Structure 1
Amino acid sequence: MAPLMRSALLPQCTSCLRRYTQIGLEAWRPLEQQRVRNISKAARKAEDSIVVKLIQDVRKFGRKGSYVPVTPALMRNKWLPMRLANYVPQAEVKQLKAQGTIIQRDFEFGVKRPLVEVETQEEDVEPTHYVRPVEIEFLSPERSMELLTTFVPPTIDFLRQPKEQDNTERMGASSAADVLSAAASRSNTGIYGSVSTGDVASTIRQALAHNDEAARVILLDKDIKFLEGTTEGDSSRIKQLGKFKVEIKVSGATEPLVRTVRIRAKSEES
C-alpha cells in the first residue's frame, strides 16, 4: 500500500516532473541571488578602499602607526588635510601583506562603553576589581635628550656627612702653606656613604616629574656615567666631597648631556 501512495503523490510524466523541479529551483534562486549580490557589494567595497598609515590616534579606526583601509574620498577630503594619515604606496602594501602585517580597522578603539550592572548569584564571592592598563606613548631618544637638556640644571647638588680629618698642626709650615693644605684636604674629604649613578638618576627623574611630557622620559641607572671622581674598581660611585662631571645619555641617543655633580658637606650653607 505504501508504494502505491507514494507513486500517486509523485508526478507521473516527464513534463510534470520538470515543472515540479522548476518550482523548487524558483524558491531557492532568490536566496542565492541575494547571497551573490552581498558578496559582490563587499568585493566592490574592498576594491574601492585604499590602505593608509595613521599618524594620529583616530577613534573607531585605530592607534597611531596602524594600517587601515579607508575610502579615497575620506582620505582626500578629511584625513590628509587634517594630517591624520599618510598614503601607503601599492608596492609597500604588497610587502606588508607578504609580511603578515594586520591591515584592518579597529571599530572598538576609543569607544567608551557604558557600565552595566552584572547580575550575580547571592553567594559570598570576593569582588574583583578591574585595573586599567597604563598606556604610555614612548618618546624618541632625540626628544628625550631635548627634555633632559631643558629640565636638568647645570649643577646637581648632593649633601653628605663628611668624615673627620686629621687636624694635627704641622710644625714650621707657613700660613700660606696651611691654607693650601687645608684646601687640598677639603677637596679630598671622604664622606659617609656615597653618591651613586642611581642617586643621580633618581634626582633627575624627580625633576622631570613636574612636566607631563618630561615625566615620560625613560632614564635608567645605566644611562648615567661619572667622568671623574670615582675610585678604581667602582666607577658607579663617588665617595668624596667636590665637583665632578657626569654624562647622561638615554638609550638610542647619539650625543650625551654633560652636567656637574656637586657633593657638599651637610654643615655647609646653601
Structure 2
Amino acid sequence: MTRLGLHVGGPLQQVRGKSKAAREAERNIVVKLIQDVPRFGRAGTYVPLNPAQMRNRWFPKRIADYVPAVQLKQLKAEGTVMGRDFDFGMLRARQAGDEEGPDEVRRQPKNYVRPVELDFLSPARSMELLTTFMPSTLDFARQPIEQEKVEARPQPRYGASNAADILTAAAMAAKPKTPVNGIYGSVSTSDVAASIRTALAHNEEAARVILADSHISFIDGPEGDSARVKQLGSFKVEIKIPGADSPITRSVRIRAKKDDLAQAA
C-alpha cells in the first residue's frame, strides 16, 4: 500500500482507461485525399485514417496520399482543418435510393482494368506473310499399304457346285479394293495447318497469323474429299484467310515412310 501511494482510510482515486475509440484515434494518421470519398471529404482535404487501411487499400488504389511530417507540422501551425466530413456524399446517396447508406469501402472507385488489346493482322497482311514464309511444297511421310497379290486365273475348285462359285464371285466383288498407293491413315487439312504454323513460328509477326483448318482445302483430291487424302502422291491445296482477295496454292507431297529407312541405310 505504501509503494502504491495509497493511504489506508483515505479516499481512493479511480483511474479509468481510455476508450477504444480514443485509442484508435491516437493511432490514426493524417492523409490527403486524392479522390472524393463519401463520408470522408473532397479531394485535397486532410483526414485522419487508420494506418492499416491506408497501407492496404487507400494508398495502393490511389485514393489518398501520405503527408510528410514536415508538411503536417506546417499544416498544424497554419490551423488547417483535419477531420472527416460525415455528411459529404450523403445527400447524393439518398437521392440514388441507397437505403443502407453509403459505405466508404463499398463506394470506393473500382480499380481500372485495362482491356486486353489484341492486335490482329489484316487478311491482306496475313496472306503476304503466308506467301513469304510458307514453303512451296509441304512434305509428309506415311506408311503405304501393301497391295494384295491377285492371281491371274482362279484355281479350279473340284467338287464345288455352281451355286458356290456364284456366291464366291459375289463375295469377291463386294470386297472393298485397296486403292493404288494407299496409305495407313491420311493427310488432312489439320496436318497441313500444323505444318504451316511450324514454318510461320520462326518469324515474330508471321507467328501471329491466325490459320484454321477451315481455311485450307484440297482442290485435286483423288476421292473428291477436300479435307483429306489417303494415298501417296502430290496434291494441291488452297489456303485463303477470310476477307482476302485471292487464295494461295501450294503442293502437298505424300511419300512412303519406308523410303526414309532406305536412305538412312
Shared topology, TM-score over 0.5?
A: no
Task: Find the structure with the greater CA-based Rg.
Answer: 2
